[in-house]
Structure 1
């Protein structure tokens, strides 16, 4: 008797966004003296820099008559509503009403915790309203503050699907060869606490025929850093890749993909920046190959896996912690798990394998 057709399951999406730090791109982009519109987490927010250089993020609509604060103007330490001129500071307090001396006691708007690290701006999201713990602090990348490395080159894309499709990639070994033309020789995942790490050794036509080594880590649900060694134009290239997303709503997200490269001795700053730009274009092209798949695939909660697939179910168990109240997170979701897929037979262990030991 033949087997029955496998039935794809997909539960309705729960209207909830992940707990964690989300990257809003280069911090410098928000320091131009103007308000910035943020359509994220299913709502309108407004970002602006105060006189101390701090970037503040507040709820985007004025509680007076609903004016869009992100289309107003910055005046010193306040954001001025374009509708009636009410002025709001970075702590959400109304500081002035141009036609009234008495400020209503209820004149308060919501604020969002931000931080800057690695030349990037981050916003904290927690459905329970709790502040971030020290253990989820964004780690410093020394290269971001070194003259031996280029500046970030960052591209922004809007993707029309749920962000889980993107995060699946951290464990989806098989798609690298099929979608990106990058055969994999070694692949492993490490899940522990709020971090998920991937070690990949393979080859890529885009980056030359030599071995490509990539060590990638999600720090929380949405901020992903890759240290990569490859080639470009015959030059050995050491690069750091930024892959971060912020949900717009349950069915779309902003994706920022950034690249910085270690400068090649003997090349000018402009030549090194050209290498960084070329790497960025290559990486963006690879993501659009994924987007083409996402645009036509269906959401599947019970993927039918085979022996050569990566640890997708373990990854989704890890990822689930960010969508639960902190008290409901299962210990199994954050416990240390190492899954190693040995594709290449024989030979020495790949570089960086030590990150999975102990």
Structure 2
């Protein structure tokens, strides 16, 4: 099964990646890319942006593999990454034949019996070794020099999941390519195209250097600043409520412990707005100071839940297999209602509501209302209505 992006998606990918360069320039671009990421491929993403797997810039260097990275790669890790590179290298020419700008199941690209067995074993190894599933692979690009791979973790496949994949793809691709374009100092026209893509996202994006100075934003970030989130930019420095700033202090990318403390979820807002904003962040490494920092910077994403249409709760209920009662309770939790208020509204006991809320949190793997909002946001269409 394959999933084609819509026409707007095709056009954005085509304009972003159709850089008119010769073979020598392309080789130089790859060399710069390798020094930046420690790898020669493009972007690897994940469907779940809220478990530490968001903005995974693909790399064969364990320091940059933020999912399950090891300080000293063991033989198992090295073997796994060598297999990844082998399958990736094989994927490129086959993807060209299948056509760019589409998602494909990895097994669509590896049909010979020995290859099929190999890719199946490797996909199982991904789950066992790195902790997530790959049931959908993909390629994108407008020309042979601009192809990438998207790995997505699914427990099953259906149309709802494909929407989730598309949302993940756009956030991963647009934010990643935005930084890459600044890093590689591409043309103003190319930067403008990517900025337009970032401006179309509902997520407010703040890119900070190691001193918390804001070096990049998008249009939605202006709305976040003007709202009751408590997030501000003063004299170019990012400011936020204490709980967010405290969490940011622990948001780091370390070769010793790259998969812990890197990503956080939080909530921001004035009283009465405590569940209105979903906040998470991811670290990135800028050792060469191209973005203005000589160390680890931070990408912060803020979503105002006013963008959630009612359908999103129903979609989330289907994905996470909530009962009708649990779906209703989840919607009320997202409204910011306390358990006692929900019980009074429904005319049932507080213990019943508490049990239903616990079930919602358990099924959605959420620890609080903000994380539940994040799970629902994960299924939201990522562009403005």
The answer, yes or no, to whether TM exceeds 0.5 is no
TM-score after normalising by structure 1: 0.29
Could you say which structure has the larger radius of gyration? Answer: 1
Greater relative contact order (Cα 8 A, min sep 6): structure 1 or 2?
A: 1
